[in-house]
């Protein structure tokens, strides 16, 4: 039997469905100044949290699986539910699966699909979140054919709630859209100054750590981090990086 509290939480999620947020916003004109950076993020690195990977390092082929990580950088503490809306080009990719992760590991998911748009509500029945930032869910798509140019996937809205309050978490044009394929700046192999600021420092280490452990063929594999060109980013690359650190 469910407790009254659990019933209340289910009611909360049912109230949010389907996409109550967008219905509310549809009458508004386009925002005058687009927000570039918001705390609700999409990234292509499937580690928990936002690693700022907004584009695939290589062009995905037809049939490839692409997983996007839905993360927030603040506002997630003591929550029991989330509601997100993600849009994509249904001619180019197909929704395959969604799973709750990290902050919402074990949550009950209620996905609702339309062509090119997915609304997912997630609900924790026996606990609440214990951190302010982290990942909510991961969504996997299949690439249908050769991508003619960069194909975007956008996080359009994110709500986080408890039985007491529901808050909208801001999305930003630069931080809530990821792109599959498309042109990227040429990669300079073997240079540990990953952010190109002229020195090898902590920011470069953060970039390196975000891609550590990835191998060629994996969507998180960044060839720029594979300093010895061995096909994966591992300990030998770390040794080369450490040698250059501080220079």
Instruction: Check binding of 83 to Ca ion (CB under 5 A).
Output: no
Instruction: Check binding of 188 to Ca ion (CB under 5 A).
Output: no
Burial-class residue 67 by CB neighbours within 10 Å (0-12, 13-18, 19+).
middle
Residue 19: both structure tokens together: 């996409």
User: What's the CA dihedral at 25, 28, 33, 38 to 10 degrees?
Assistant: -10
Alpha carbon separation from 81 to 38, 67, 118, 141 (Å, rounded): 19, 21, 17, 23
- The interface mask with Ca ion, positions 154-183, x = CB under 5 A, is ------------------------------
Segment interacting with Ca ion (CB under 5 A) among 151-159, 164-172, 177-185, 203-211: 203-211
Select 9 or 56, whichever has its Cβ closest to Ca ion. Answer: 56
The length of the chain, given as a count of residues: 247
Minimum CB–partner distance for residue 50 and Ca ion (Å): 6
Residue whose entry in the numeric block shows the structure tokens 């690195």: 45
Select 155 or 166, whichever has its Cβ closest to Ca ion. Answer: 155
Please say whether the beta carbons of 9 and 166 come within 8 A. no
Residue 189: both structure tokens together: 């192999």
Residues 218-247 that bind Ca ion (CB under 5 A): 226, 228, 230, 237
Instruction: Check binding of 204 to Ca ion (CB under 5 A).
Output: yes
Minimum CB–partner distance for residue 163 and Ca ion (Å): 28
Instruction: Check binding of 133 to Ca ion (CB under 5 A).
Output: no
Residue ranges binding Ca ion (CB under 5 A):
43, 45, 47, 51, 69, 193, 195, 197, 204, 226, 228, 230, 237
């Amino acid at each position: 039997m469910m407790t009254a509290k659990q019933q209340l939480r289910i009611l909360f999620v049912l109230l949010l469905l389907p996409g109550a947020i967008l219905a509310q916003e549809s009458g508004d004109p386009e925002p005058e100044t687009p927000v570039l950076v918001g705390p609700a993020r999409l990234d292509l690195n499937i580690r928990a949290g936002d690693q700022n990977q907004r584009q695939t390092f290589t062009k995905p082929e037809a049939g490839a699986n692409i997983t996007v990580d839905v993360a927030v950088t603040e506002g997630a503490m003591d929550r029991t539910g989330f509601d997100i809306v993600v849009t994509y080009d249904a001619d180019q990719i197909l929704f395959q699966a969604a799973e709750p992760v990290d902050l919402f590991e074990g949550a009950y998911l209620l996905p609702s699909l339309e062509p090119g748009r997915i609304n997912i509500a997630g609900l924790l029945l026996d606990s609440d979140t214990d951190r302010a930032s982290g990942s909510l869910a991961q969504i996997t798509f299949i690439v249908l054919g050769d991508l003619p140019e960069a194909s975007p996937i956008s996080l359009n809205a994110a709500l986080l709630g408890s039985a007491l309050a529901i808050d909208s978490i801001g999305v930003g044009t630069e931080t809530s859209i990821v792109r599959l394929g498309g042109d990227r700046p040429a990669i300079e192999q073997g240079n540990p100054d990953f952010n190109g600021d002229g020195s090898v420092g902590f920011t470069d280490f953060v970039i390196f750590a975000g891609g550590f452990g990835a191998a060629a063929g994996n969507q998180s594999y960044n060839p720029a981090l594979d300093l010895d060109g061995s096909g994966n980013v591992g300990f030998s690359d770390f040794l080369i990086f450490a040698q250059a650190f501080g220079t």
